[in-house]
Amino acid sequence: MSDAAQPTAAEVRAAADAVKSALDRHLQAVERRTGDDDPAVYDAFNALAAAAEVYDELLYDRYDEVTPFEIPGAEDSLPPYEGPEEPHAVSVLIRRDYAVAEPARLLAQAQRLADLDPDAADAGVPTVADGGVHAALGVVFGEYEADEIASRHTEFGLEEGDSTLWVSAIDELPDPGDWLGSPFEDADPALVVCRFDVSAVFDEEDEPDEDAAGPATGRL
């Protein structure tokens, strides 16, 4: 690496400070955890891993030194599989995070959809803007499938965050309506057959090709 490309000492120091802050946030999240799958702990863990990785890289680039930290790979993020060898049914659990980057665009798209509804127009329903972003999200997500929103999110003023998809083994399909009241309560990482994650924390060389689902973890 050329001298011009090397990080400065100040950048390395800032990365070290970021690791210290991330450690504090992780400990606070652990101390306040509300259960085994507390999302605050999960988010703090990822933030700590990302900060440690940045520091490790800058330290090496600047001083040719390494840290004793070993950042767990995605394949290490699941407990040992405890489900059936040949599942007779599966549950597919999906989480996608979005930032409302352009509220005006979201409101405009939602209002356009509302204007196309003749029943709403005849009934004199208030404009989407009256309900704000909350109402606009209900209109957009009520009109489009989640996969279509994922592929067209910029049209709706949304910015992608992390996403994950779990395919979990279950003994048999539950009766209709059984889990609708709390659909994610029984999510068990030990029953995950395979998992696919997309996150900005992954290195560019690990980014999926176009049309790929994303970095995969778990068992296939």
Residues 90-137: tens digit of each pLDDT: 999 999 999 999 999 999 999 888 888 766 554 444 566 677 898 899
**Tell me, what DSSP letter sits at residue 35?**
S
Residues 183-200: tens digit of each pLDDT: 888 788 889 988 888 888
CA distance 213 to 157: 22
Model-wide pTM > 0.85? no
Strands 216-217 and 89-100, bridge-based pairing? unpaired
Within 8 A by CB and 6+ apart from 104, the residues are 157
CA distance 165 to 213: 9
Measured over the CA atoms of residue 127, residue 131, residue 137 and residue 141, the dihedral's sign is: negative
154 Cα distance to chain centroid: 17
